Amino acid sequence: MKKIFIAGIAFLYLSCTKSSGPPLNTTPFNVKSFMVNGDYQGNIYTNLKNINLRFIFTGGTIDKNSVNASVSLKTFGGLSVPLNYSYDNDSTLNVVPNGNLTPLTGYRFEISTAFKSQQNTALQNPVAINLYTTIDSTDKFPQITDSALLDLVEKQTFKYFYDFGHPVSGMARERNSDATTVTTGGSGFGVMALLVGIQRNFITRAQGLARVDTIVNFLTNKAQRYHGAFPHWMNGTTGATIPFSQQDDGADLVETSYMMQGLLTARQFFNTNDPTEVTLRNNINNLWNAVEWNWFRQNGQNVLYWHWSPNYNFSTNQQISGWDEAMIVYALAASSTVDSNRIPKIVYDNGWALNGAIKNGKSYYGLTLPLGPDFGGPLFFAHYSFLGINPNNLSDAYADYWEQDQNHSLINYNFCVVNPHNYNGYSSNCWGLTASDEQGGYSAHSPTNDDGVISPTAAISSLPYAPTQSLNALHFFYYKLGDKIWGQYGFVDAFNLTNVWFANSYLAIDQGPEIIMIENYRSGLLWNLFMSCPEVKTGMKSLGFQSPNLN
């Protein structure tokens, strides 16, 4: 019995051993670690000149036959890059591109679950890494003098308003991707750009006069108006209002002010006894005198309101107050030559200046900011109202406006140099945060709303305030990034060197300040014309402004 029992145990042991086979490997086949160019920074890598990827796997050894079908490197546009592979051992894969990569390009590296081990186990977790290459620092265009470069930028940007102007209305299209929608404010900037075109001999005086006359006739005879004010957007053929939003389907007083700024500047420019110029001036005056500024006080309040709708009345309830891009509204509202339309000083003090609460007074990077939000806000605050209003030696009870605009620009510049969010590309040569397009949308970029997007208009339009810093940026944009951002109508709207994205858009409200402020820096043309308006002198002085230019 004893022998049989032992034999039975032996049979049971052998049976169990034979049926279970060798011990199973329960560790999943996966990436244990990886590095890009000898470093690990997660799944996003920027500013790369070359790419060398190294992966160590655990839970099995690499089936080299599965590599080609499961590993890929593609541009974000979907173009495949040939790869070379090498192996330090059966668990380590090295990958390098076969050839040079394109500078300032986004690449996606992937290892799919088709990647297998020699034990025929699929990779448990796929790999996806975003790789962004660095800038090519060579010049993209021959070096020219700064004067010639400014000529070139003005001339190329001018094409947006002349060559691309709407064929019926002559107005500026909102953006290059929309053939129908024209913009009131951007067209006001466009009128000023036309004057630069005449001054710089891009077109003749007769050509410029004809285009401004077309615009004025359209505004007079076709464009919808609401108590004398225009909407934000219009159909460029019919003049019908295109709603900016559901309840913003009528008057936009800020956009109207940008248009009037441009028209009054044109009125001063076309100053001869030529019958066409005389008629143009009269027609501009009719449009100017028709704006019922006081209506926008909403029943006599001491503040102006941005919008009025024939369908929703003042329902947006947006006051024009505090420091932003809209100082020009109050300057013009006080300058109306129609007594019933002209606002008194209390509306400016209470509505715009908030009885002094508009003041800031804090210091940023050693620069005092007289007015507005922390760090100054987006740079278009320093541009839109000051395309015509000359801030040199201009002051009132609240600020010195040259100090305001200059320090705002330099604070924006210093923020980009310090680069607290460590975005790729920010530097003393690459700066400028303002409202512009971005990947997937539009945003008012500023030091308090910074997502890595640089807008060329921000630095270029600040040329009068920060000439050295703005010229350095202009050099960088043109010579170093010119193959990416210089195009048919000058510089594109925006770019991001961290995510390596370049807009293909041009916007009237961003192209306009570039050409206008370059010219103001060079000759003061638009400043001199607008500030020569007798009613503007009277109106701004009535609000307490002081400047030799108002005498």
Following DSSP, what letter does each residue of 420-439 receive, concatenated?
TT--TT-BTTB----EEEET
- 405 and 330, same domain (yes or no): yes
Domain count of the chain? 2
- 306 and 366, same domain (yes or no): yes
Helix (H/G/I), strand (E/B), else coil: 47: strand
Nearest-angstrom CA–CA distance, 407 and 451: 22
Q: Is the pTM of this model over 0.85?
A: yes
What proportions of the chain, in percent to the nearest 5, are helix, strand and coil?
A: 40, 20, 40
Q: Residue 141 domain-assigned?
A: no
- 316: containing domain: 146-550
Helix (H/G/I), strand (E/B), else coil: 450: coil
- 297 and 357, same domain (yes or no): yes
Q: What is the pLDDT along the chain (551 residues), one digit of tens a residue?
A: 333 333 332 322 333 344 454 455 568 999 999 999 999 999 999 999 999 999 999 999 999 999 999 999 999 999 999 999 999 999 999 999 999 999 999 999 999 999 999 999 999 999 999 999 999 999 999 999 999 999 999 999 999 999 999 999 999 999 999 999 999 999 999 999 999 999 999 999 999 999 999 999 999 999 999 999 999 999 999 999 999 999 999 999 999 999 999 999 999 999 999 999 999 999 999 999 999 999 999 999 999 999 999 999 999 999 999 999 999 999 999 999 999 999 999 999 999 999 999 999 999 999 999 999 999 999 999 999 999 999 999 999 999 999 999 999 999 999 999 999 999 999 999 999 999 999 999 999 999 999 999 999 999 999 999 999 999 999 999 999 999 999 999 999 999 999 999 999 999 999 999 999 999 999 999 999 999 999 999 999 999 999 999 99
Task: Check if the beta carbon of residue 29 is closer than 8 Å to that of residue 121.
Answer: yes
HEC secondary structure over 454-471: ECHHHHHCCCCCCHHHHH
- 329 and 401, same domain (yes or no): yes
- 87 and 156, same domain (yes or no): no
Which of 76, 109, 133 is at the close of a domain?
Answer: 133
The H or E element spanning position 540 is helix 534-542
Q: Residue 445 domain-assigned?
A: yes
Q: Residue 7 domain-assigned?
A: no
Q: Residue 14 domain-assigned?
A: no
Nearest-angstrom CA–CA distance, 272 and 263: 16
Which of 133, 155, 188 is at the close of a domain?
Answer: 133
Token pair, residue 531, equals 């500030």
- 315 and 416, same domain (yes or no): yes
Compute the mean pLDDT over every residue in the chain, rounded to the nearest whole number. 95
- 123 and 239, same domain (yes or no): no
Q: Residue 115 domain-assigned?
A: yes
Q: Residue 1 domain-assigned?
A: no
- 236 and 354, same domain (yes or no): yes
- 525 and 450, same domain (yes or no): yes
- 99 and 164, same domain (yes or no): no
Which of 92, 109, 133 is at the close of a domain?
Answer: 133
Here the CATH number for the domain that contains residue 35 is 2.60.40.3710
Q: Residue 21 domain-assigned?
A: no
- pLDDT digits 0-9 by tens, 397-434: 999 999 999 999 999 999 999 999 999 999 999 999 99
Q: Residue 8 domain-assigned?
A: no
Here the CATH number for the domain that contains residue 413 is 1.50.10.140
- 71 and 156, same domain (yes or no): no
Burial of 251 from C-beta contacts in 10 A (0-12 / 13-18 / 19+): buried
Nearest-angstrom CA–CA distance, 438 and 187: 23
- 389 and 488, same domain (yes or no): yes
